[in-house]
Amino acid sequence: AITMVDPEGALVSIDPTMPTNSPNLFSVRRNTSMTPEPFKQTPFTYLCRAFRINELKTEVTNRLAMLEKRVELEGLKVVEIEKCKNDLKKLRDEMTSRGGGRSMIQIRDVPSYPKYTLSQETIEALKKPTFDVWHWEHNEMLSCLEYMYHDLGLVKEFNMNPITLKRWLLGIQENYRSNPFHNFRHCFCVSQMMYGMINLCNLPEKMTLTDMGILMTAAVCHDLDHPGYNNTYQINARTELAVRYNDISPLENHHCAVAFQILSLPECNIFANVELEAYKQIRQAIITLILATDMARHGEILDSFKHKVDSFDFTNEEHVTCLKMVLIKCCDISNEVRPTEVAEPWVDCLLEEYFMQSDREKTEGLPVAPFMDRDKVTKPTAQIGFIKFVLIPMFETVMKLFPQIEEIMVQPLRDSRDHYEELKQIDDAMTEVGHLFSLNITLSFRVGVNSILNSRQLRK
């Protein structure tokens, strides 16, 4: 083992950065008192030349410096990426907790869902209100929606790029949240019912293909990015959506905004090949229909349609617009038109979402609607009034214009009303039995106590 010293006797570090071989360097044997002797250059110089030590040293030094720089830069990137992720998560959590909409739309880069070949049985079932929406995965529902656009001639009418249609549908699916009720399956449910009504009522013979495109697209987009808390909550909690839209249909306005955010992306714009003026009219018509799904406007819209239905004119633009508004309303709340085994799970989903909201309202000290309070509502009480006073009157009014819907749509509503009234009678009877049972126990207890007291009195 040796050490290197300079002429002043100071130690010189032996490492890749040491100076080149020089007569000014001396070697000292470790733990000896020998006088330093000049280090012989010949062997060291020979070794340096033989192994190209200086070149290797320079290369290693440069590479180390470069790696250190890269580590520093990558470290900064990681820090920034993590910071960005944390900021986004914080923002998303804040928006969700406030019941507001997300600030950024979600879009997949490429269509990745497989192409399904629909059987003839499925194609026929898609046209009927009896279609069971619970048996399908998301990719299958996307393929069914894609088929509807092709089958109605909308792809050809609007000169849509089929890949753009796929990408648009993917963008739609990814911007429905995983709520118990207001989710992508509900979107598909409403769209499938619209497709069924278009076929059942022979609408292509009475209205234009542009009207068909407006009806279908509004149905697909009508609940985009629904946060799971209704307009009443948005307004009472003064959420960002309520503030942004001045308490006027905040959710429906948000659904429209997200729909056209997606359509504004070139890769998702299914109306890219439509002339500007025609696109403006389509956009306005879709907005009108989505805004019509606000149940606060139900009475106003239905009354308007009732005044027109007896002398309805398919050449009158105002009449047709009013009909389209009623049609999307029918489809939006049409679950009870379906068979009981298909409709009833939707009631459970809706009540779950209602209870989630009412629990939050209680926590935040906000007003709670009785029909959303888990302590006050039951499945029969939730459905009977809605079916009797909202669904049946609206569908019976539409039936005046399209008598063919009575058997397949109106009658199931009447049957559903009867079903829930029977359930309510059973619930009431069980409640009465429970009261009587409690009363009997109370009376028996009192009789027993009185007997004991009387016997003690006799003894005295």
Q: Output 112-121 pairs: Cβ under 8 A, ≥24 positions apart.
A: 112/170, 113/138, 113/139, 113/142, 113/143, 113/166, 113/170, 114/139, 114/143, 115/143, 116/140, 116/143, 118/143, 118/144, 118/147
Q: Give CA–CA dist 181/349, Å, rounded.
A: 5
183 labelled as ligand-binding? yes
185 labelled as ligand-binding? yes
186 labelled as ligand-binding? yes
Longest dimension (CA), the chain: 133
63 labelled as ligand-binding? no
Which strands sit side by side in the sheet containing 2-5, from one edge to the other? 11-12, 2-5, 26-29, 37-38
26 labelled as ligand-binding? no
235 is written with which tokens? 């307004």
Distances (CA, A) of 290 to 141, 319, 368: 21, 17, 26
Decide the pairing of beta strands 26-29 and 2-5. Answer: antiparallel
139 labelled as ligand-binding? no
Q: Give CA–CA dist 370/359, Å, rounded.
A: 12
CA-CA-CA-CA torsion sign (221, 224, 228, 229) = negative
332 labelled as ligand-binding? yes
Q: How many helices (H) and strands (E) does the chain have?
A: 19, 4
What do you get for the CA distance between the two ends of the chain, in Å? 116
Q: Give CA–CA dist 257/259, Å, rounded.
A: 5
Q: Which residues are catalytic?
A: 182
Instruction: Name the β-bridge partners of 3.
Output: 28
319 labelled as ligand-binding? no
* Whether 189 contacts 349, CB under 8 Å: no
Q: Give CA–CA dist 287/265, Å, rounded.
A: 18
Distances (CA, A) of 88 to 79, 83, 99, 430: 14, 9, 16, 52
Distances (CA, A) of 145 to 116, 118, 186, 221: 11, 11, 13, 12
247 labelled as ligand-binding? no
Count CB atoms within 10 A of the CB of residue 415: 13
- Annotate 215-262 with DSSP letters as a single string: HHHHHHHTTTT--SS-HHHHHHTT-HHHHHTTTSSHHHHHHHHHHHHH
Query: What's the CA dihedral at 124, 130, 131, 133 to 10 degrees?
Result: 180
Binding-site positions for Zn(2+): 186, 222-223, 332
Binding-site positions for AMP: 182-186, 223, 332, 383
